[in-house]
Chains A and B, each alone.
Chain A
Amino acid sequence: MRKILLLLLASLPVMAFAQGFQVNLHGQKQIGMGHTGTGLAQDGASVLFNPGAMAMLPDNYIQAGISPLIFKSGFNPSGTNDAYYTKNKIATPFTAYAVWGPKSSFWKLGLGVYTPFGGLTDWGNEWQGKYVLESLNLKAIAIQPTLSIRLADFVSIGGGFVYNIGDVDLQRAIPLANAAGADGQARLKGSGHGYGWNAGIFFKTESGITVGIDYRSKLKTTINNGDAIFGVPASLATSFPQPNTFTASIPLPSTTSLGLGYYPSSRWTLAADVNYVHWSVYKVLAFDYAQNTSALQDTYSPRNYKDAYSLRGGAQYKANDKLFLRAGGGYASTAVRDGYVTPEAPDANRYYFTGGLGYKLAKRLDLDFSFEYEKLLSRTQTNIESQLAGTFKTHVYIPGVSLAYHW
């Protein structure tokens, strides 16, 4: 009678994907000051932080920086003495900005190339959550041409169009053992693009305080025809047709920022930023496979993110004409509700400390270093979907360096 059995495979749990993966490494001077910059006109990074401030920059800029990011996460499954750690992998968020306008003109043109979102997490293929996620490498690169106009001595505005290129490579194990007892493997790999915009306004008040407001729009990035690669035992190959493709859409949320700059003396710059990230647009993660079978269905996975905010503060001290010291810190709330935490970026409320050094190599050439330590508060969770239960603890270490030429 086994003849008439239909084989229904353990259905694939939906792909875990994408959370807490906003990258905020957008300029070494700003990182050093706790990621503040919306209310300052520091350098070319204003293209991102506040295009409105660009026209207030005294110089033209061309600059580039890199912030190698080491994400260290550990997981202790509930009721066990086991501990699993992510592998040592270094992600490389980078920035490149150019700002140009005729000297003393009321306008400036800008171009920014930066990494607004990304994630690199590799738990390996032997950990308890391997059926949820083995590794994720998510990269987004945004290109933003920008125009800024000084309306008056005390106010300027700016805006830019954002073209975003997204790239994802996700791997997980499939609970189908082959004759040797080894798991099947799933890999989703693809790239896509999206559009958005970034606009801001910048004021110099009579009290000497500078104020900036910036809005970076949602970047709805769609991956079309990504490769869905499944390695399963030969007898099940027809259930996982190859080649196959998938389509998935990820809304990268909008961010609204308000920033203040205060200059108590010629040596000191103090800054504060508040950011509101509209993560609640991220309701579901759906994967649509080009070829479906009874074992390979499209997936529809609730995410139900909530909006998140961050509070940031920082200071810069000009030690002498060549040397600048910076420090800052902040707190960011998690977008991920209880029950939805997944291993690709085990999000939690986090706080961070930053430090930086700026050195003028020459009159027109700035070399800046930054370092950031982020601590995600430990979070004990049972994921609603996967039932993976345990405690995540995460630290992030981010050194960085940039070079800026201005004239």
Chain B
Amino acid sequence: MKNFKLSIYVLLAASLAACKPSIETPAPSHGSADFSRYIAVGNSLTAGYADGGLYLEGQQNSYPSIIAKQMQQVGGGTFTQPLFSQDQANGSGYLQLTGFDKTTGAPTTAPVTTNLAVTGQVTIPGFGAVTTYTKYTGTDLNNYGVPGIKLAHITYAPYGNLNGFYERLLPGAEGTHTTTYLDFITAKPFTFFTNWLGNNDALGYATSGGAGDVLTDKATFNALYSGLMTKLTASGQKGAVATIPDVTAIPYFNTVTVAAILASVQKANPAVQALFINAKSDATAAGTAYAARPATANDLIVLTFPTSKIGTLVSTPAGMLPYGLTPYSPIENQYVLDANEVTLTKDYVTSYNNTIKSVAASKGIAVNDMYTFLNNVKAHGLVVDGVNLNAGYISGGIFSLDGVHLTPRGYAIVANEFIKAINAQYGSTIPLADAASYRSVKFP
């Protein structure tokens, strides 16, 4: 009997200690690329901008930092970002979701105004006020993402004085900067790069409703992009570029719709037939004529449009009239990317993307086609690890509260798209990141 007792103990012990099934993961390989010093070139998306601001948590979840973390398994080096300090973790400030309106269910947001890194405002002659931030003092830098930068800015020497996010990376005092972005990013040697510049060349125009900014000329874009890529690959470096998303694929333009506004107006006043907007008369860059006309589903209202303006009486040559409801009191240009402006923007984005793809092809550089990817997300949604994602505002899970930039989960998905493109181009096996471990929008 003793032996049997013993044998049951042995059996139990053996089974409890039983080895886990062995998981054989593919051997990591860097393929034909060298990831030892990776730099990220780009704008706000590259910096980790989210919820209408640049702040520490966003920086820590930037897509380049996620890529770099995964690259470390295939020979990637350390990746340094110009992080805000813990004391100033809220950086430029950002939007926070505070709840939902009890009657309408609409989300409400409020700006975060504590623990900022803002150091002041400086008036630059001929330009205007520039907000400055606590300088990044580290000596190492891998993430060169600068919110707001356009491709059109990269060879402009005084640019450091006009953009506080760039200014904080540069040594020297505000007002005295003369280093172009192109020179800045290529000053130190690197072995691998990602480049996602060009969004703002179209987005600046689009988000201002075609009123506050201009589209970068197509030929200028082509010349600058070629020059940028020539310099980035000057020592045979490899890298990946991304195309520019269709600006109409983002919630900034698809959340507040003409139909939704009209429906809510008609609830109060069923006689209202249409909204009126001040729309561009043609779809050319040169055309400057605008005229009022009824809005259609092809006219995109910006997310930041204050809907309370609708119906308020405004002074017009024809007298006091309700805002947005007559041809004499149309919704102002800056709140609408009208159908012609949409057509114009799409045309430019297509041209920019053709440039990006052809320049990348000529240099044998990987292309992450975010244009196609985000259009697919908008059309079909995306299911990742049991999470249903789409291009919707807040509920979609990919876009942050500003409707343009991404949530950490959105950035992780972008990082994985870069990784797939890199692996396909260079035969590397950078492991994908776990998008499920990154959050979407935070709810109170």
Query: Contact residues of A with B, CB < 8 Å?
Result: 1-11, 13, 68, 70, 72-83, 85, 88, 126, 128-132, 172, 175-179, 181, 232-236, 357, 359, 361, 367, 369, 371, 378, 385-388, 391, 393-395, 397-399, 401
Contact = CB atoms under 8 A, between A and B. Distances in A.
Contacts of B440: 10, 175-177
B399 to A, nearest CB: 12
For B15, B100, B261, B384, which residue has the most chain A Cβ atoms within 10 angstroms? B15
Nearest to A174: B387
A176 B443 contact: yes
A3 B307 contact: yes
Contact of B11 (A10, A130, A132, A371): A371
Contacts of A179: 442-444
A377 to B, nearest CB: 11
B59 to A, nearest CB: 15
Contacts, number: 190
Contact of B104 (A5, A72, A398): A5
A74 B23 contact: yes
For B8, B73, B263, which residue has the most chain A Cβ atoms within 10 angstroms? B8
B318 interface: no
Contact of A13 (B97, B387, B436): B387
Nearest to A130: B436
Contacts of A82: 25, 431, 434
Interface string B16-28: 1010111111101
A233 B25 CA distance: 37
Contact of A369 (B7, B21, B264): B7
Nearest to A388: B385
A10 B388 CA distance: 6
Contacts of B107: 2, 5, 7
Given A85-B20, A394-B21, A128 B104 contact: no
Interface string B382-399: 011111111011111100
A3 B303 CA distance: 11
B111 interface: no
A395 B17 CA distance: 13
B21 A5 contact: no
B21 A395 contact: yes
Contact of A386 (B18, B256, B383): B383
B36 interface: no
A77 B263 CA distance: 46
B103 to A, nearest CB: 9
B106 interface: yes
A6 B104 CA distance: 7
B441 interface: yes
B427 interface: no
Nearest to A75: B23
B23 A76 contact: yes
Given A131-B385, A175-B397, A70 B18 contact: yes
B100 to A, nearest CB: 6
A3 B386 contact: no
A66 B97 CA distance: 53
B337 to A, nearest CB: 14
Contacts of B301: 1
Contacts of B73: 81
Given A1-B260, A81-B25, A181-B439, 17 more contacts: A1-B305, A2-B108, A2-B255, A6-B105, A7-B100, A7-B395, A10-B390, A68-B12, A74-B22, A76-B23, A80-B432, A80-B433, A83-B23, A128-B385, A131-B386, A388-B386, A395-B20
A399 B306 CA distance: 68
Contacts of B14: 397
Contacts of B23: 74-76, 83, 391, 393
Nearest to A400: B11
Given A175-B387, A235-B97, A388-B386, A129 B442 contact: no
Shortest 4 CB-CB distances between A and B: which pairs?
A1-B307, A1-B256, A233-B443, A131-B386
B249 to A, nearest CB: 18
Interface string B291-326: 000000000010101110000000000000000000
A235 B444 contact: yes
B443 A129 contact: no
Contacts of A388: 385-386
B289 interface: no
Interface of B: 1, 4, 7-8, 11-12, 14-16, 18, 20-26, 28, 73, 97, 99-101, 104-109, 255-256, 260-261, 263-264, 301, 303, 305-307, 383-390, 392-397, 420, 431-434, 436-437, 439-444
Contact of A357 (B4, B255, B388, B396): B4
Contacts of A78: 432
A73 B388 contact: no
Contact of B15 (A2, A70, A128): A70
B4 to A, nearest CB: 6
A315 to B, nearest CB: 20
A179 B393 CA distance: 18
28 contacts: A1-B261, A2-B107, A2-B108, A2-B109, A4-B104, A4-B261, A5-B260, A7-B394, A10-B389, A13-B388, A72-B18, A73-B21, A74-B20, A76-B24, A78-B432, A81-B28, A128-B434, A177-B439, A177-B443, A178-B444, A179-B444, A181-B442, A233-B442, A235-B444, A236-B443, A369-B11, A388-B385, A401-B8
Contacts of A235: 97, 99-100, 443-444
A83 B18 contact: no
A11 to B, nearest CB: 6
A31 B159 CA distance: 78
Contacts of B101: 3
Given A5-B393, A72-B20, A80-B431, A131 B387 contact: yes
A185 B324 CA distance: 44
A397 B15 contact: yes
Contacts of B305: 1
Contacts of A177: 439-443
A246 to B, nearest CB: 19
A72 B21 CA distance: 7
Nearest to A386: B386
Contact of B397 (A4, A10, A132, A367): A10
Given A10-B389, A391-B23, A369 B4 contact: yes
Contacts of A391: 23
Nearest to A90: B16
A8 B256 CA distance: 14
A184 to B, nearest CB: 9
A128 B436 contact: yes
A128 B305 CA distance: 38
B272 to A, nearest CB: 15
Nearest to A12: B388
Given A4-B104, A179-B444, A386-B386, A129 B436 contact: yes
A303 B264 CA distance: 42
A385 B385 CA distance: 9
Contacts of A131: 385-387, 436
A182 to B, nearest CB: 8
A126 B436 CA distance: 9
B256 to A, nearest CB: 4
Contacts of A85: 20-21
B225 to A, nearest CB: 30
A85 B18 CA distance: 13
Nearest to B335: A1
Nearest to B435: A128
A74 B22 CA distance: 8
